[in-house]
Structure 1
């Protein structure tokens, strides 16, 4: 799994690309603070990777998780993990 950040020069935003290798998965989504925890589907490519992009305001932190075939999964390459009392689990954190 990986995250790519591309800071835009024209406005205070960062284009974030989520890349999840999940060859055997049927469905991969990402949910977090940036979409009110309403999942956004990632597109599956022939190589088995799922990808998706979001533009996020900079100078903020966002908690998120992937949903791979219904199972909530953290991003191992996230900027850090943070405990979430509501869910009683750790969430991935993205700093932009």
Structure 2
């Protein structure tokens, strides 16, 4: 998985695009992003013909200088598979003995 950040000058948000490669998706028919910024609701990811998935979230930066949002992935193909992003900014314990990926955004 990878993330791309686009800092907007017109709004106090960072557009973060999350992508799961076709190889990492392992033929899944659906994928979801779980993120602290969305109260851990399953955010559907769009599947592309090449087998990869993408979704974009607007993460706010207007209350303080630094934000860190925990997130993880769910691949659904009859079973759920939680996986961390190997390219995450950092990792934080999730209370279940595992870790969640963290994306950091800083107001520019």
- Give TM-score scaled by structure 1 length: 0.93
1:28 pairs, out of 24, 27, 31, with 31
RMSD: 1.0
**Structure 2 residue matching 1:55: 3-state secondary structure:** strand
User: 1:37 aligned to 2:37?
Assistant: no
Matched residues in 1 for 2:37 and 2:55: separation?
14
- Equivalent in the alignment of 1:18: 18
The alignment of Structure 1 onto Structure 2 pairs a total of residues equal to 95
Matched residues in 1 for 2:15 and 2:26: separation?
25
- Give per-residue Cα distances to partners, 1:21-66, cap 9 Å, x unaligned: 1251111100021111111010000111100001001231100100
**Structure 1 residue matching 2:10: 3-state secondary structure:** coil
Structure 1 segments, 4+ long, off by >6 Å, are none
Counterparts of 1:1-96 in structure 2, within 5 Å, are 1-21=1-21, 22=25, 24-58=27-61, 59-69=66-76, 70-85=80-95, 87-96=96-105
1:88 positional shift: 2.1
Change (3 A) 1:55 1:23: same
Between structure 1 and structure 2, the one with the greater Rg is 2
- Give TM-score scaled by structure 2 length: 0.83
1:11 positional shift: 1.4
In the alignment, structure 2 segments of 5+ residues that lack a partner are: none
